[in-house]
Structure 1
Amino acid sequence: MSDTQDRIPTTCPSCSPELETVHEVLSPGGGALTVRCGECGHVHKIQPEREREVTLDVVVSQEGESFTANVTTPEDETVAVGDEFLLETEEVLATVRVTSVEVGDDRRVEEAPADEVRTVWTREVDNVAVDVTIHPKDGRRDDSRSVTVYVPGDYEFAVGAVEEFGDDEFEVDAFVVRGDATGYRRDRYEHEGDTVLAKDAKRVYAFDQTTSAWSAW
């Protein structure tokens, strides 16, 4: 057992029937715990409190489509934008990220206790689609084009790095971070060596590096 499981606060019928004291957990049994009072050494049994849970509706966005599932969580758990959790249903097993939290009156908030949440909006982050805007080598923006690359969520893009996907080869120039990503200090990065995980990237900007002549078509 861990330290938190070895010792728990509870009342002692011998020396402290009104106030909780620290007790050592000796052994579980028959649905009850056998504990020893840390103050007087009295050994007795207690019935542990069952953690109250709530079931939440979860909407998952996946490859441009969406489906609804349910998850069970402790009622005092905080649900916040940016949280990630493993969603397991008959249809899918995937890691999803919270993109929005809906509470009463159809309000969207950044976070809320689970028992106040009506719907959790999420997107899959195991495998993601990243939009890339590719500029010609000469920098002309009018002839830029967009492609979508499909990569694992933990795939890393770095400013200055050359990437190759099928017939497309490009050098990363900058990237914009999604609003639900955490751990970033700003929305846009464009300095050599700046990195972003694919699941955190809203869009990547790059310069064409293909050997064939540039074509806007």
Structure 2
Amino acid sequence: MSEPPDRVPTPCPSCSPDLETVHEVLTATEGGGTVTVRCSECGHVHKIQPEREREVTLDVVVSQEGESFTANVTTPEDETIETGDEFILETEELLSTVRVTSIELDEHRRTETAAAENIETVWTREVDNVAVNVTVHPQDGSRDDSRSITVHVPGDYEFAVGEVEEFGDDEIEIDAVVVRGDASGYDRDRYEMEGDTVLAKDAKRVYAYDQTSSAWSAW
């Protein structure tokens, strides 16, 4: 729930009972009850009962490492939701940050942004901990014997081009990172210059060269 505003327009019973004036919010009760305010015109302190925001309950589909489940969230009906938005979802199955990957309206129509009251389903994926697919090429640069591994890392883990990383028994040098379509803050969809970094939650696929000694000797 959002924090109450510092100032609100409301009639003042002392100096302006029929017209709204600006009031300073002094205190608010728990659960969105009465609010104590002070009129900016005459200084009169009184209590008001603010209008409650109209809310809607949305179905949220969460993708988590190849599996998915449905949860519900409550939000103001005029709240704008966009692809790429992140929010904390708390359910019996999960307490995690999720990212909006798609928004579904009625008749299965998809959009990039919509008011909550018009949304049927919000499609998301977990981004606190993510699984990232990595294509590993042999040290000699050959593509014929490339292999694929999946690494599990925190969503804010950084893949840096040119860095050597160890994941279990695999030691790899990052060559390039392809960025997901729902990621924001990037000006390219592929990063391959030494020093370029991409967060794991934003990485669609990582390309790397094997640095494990004798990694290919068994083959």
1:17-36 to 2 correspondences below 5 Å: 17-27=17-27, 31-36=33-38
Structure-2 change in CA distance of 1:44 and 1:176 (3 Å) = same
**Structure 2 CA distance for aligned equivalents of residues 29 and 138 of structure 1:** 67
Greater shift in the superposed pair: 163-172 or 25-34: 25-34
Instruction: Give, in whole Å, the separation in 1 of the partners of 2:182 and 2:218.
Output: 33
Residue aligning to 1:137: 139
TM-score between the two structures when normalised by the length of structure 2: 0.89
Deviations 1:151-195 (A, max 9, x none): 111111100000111221110000100011111111001000000
Structure 1 segment 57-136 matched on structure 2, within 5 A: 57-136=59-138
**Paired letter, 1:11:** P
Counterpart contact for 1:134–1:144, Cα < 8 Å: yes
Query: Percent sequence identity over matched residues?
Result: 79
Pair 1:53 & 2:55 matched: yes
The C-alpha deviation readout for 1:66-112, integer Å capped at 9, x for no partner, is 10000011111111111111111112212111100111221111111
1:123 Cα deviation after fit = 0.6
Q: TM-score, structure 1 length as denominator?
A: 0.90
Q: Deviations over 1:18-54 (max 9, x none)?
A: 5432112345579433433222344443221111111
In structure 1, the residue matched to 2:166 is 164
Cα distance in 2 for partners of 1:89, 1:205 equals 35
Deviates most, 34-43 or 99-108: 34-43
Cα distance change on mapping 1:213 and 1:124 into 2, 3 Å:
closer
CA contact (8 A) 1:143 1:216 kept: no
SS in structure 1 at match of 2:117: helix
Q: Higher mean Cα deviation, 45-54 or 199-208? A: 45-54
> Which runs of 5 or more residues in structure 2 are unaligned?
none
Q: Which range moves more in the overlay, 18-27 or 178-187?
A: 18-27
CA–CA distance in structure 2, aligned partners of residues 26 and 183 of structure 1: 38
- The one-letter amino acid paired with 2:12 is C
How far apart are 1:125 and its partner, in Å?
A: 1.0
The answer for the alignment partner of 1:37 in structure 2 is 39
TM-aligned CA distance change 1:100 to 1:27, over 3 Å: closer
Mapped to 2, the partners of 1:25 and 1:133 lie a distance apart of 56
Structure 1 unaligned spans of 5+: none
Counterparts of 1:213 and 1:41 in 2: how far apart (Å)?
77
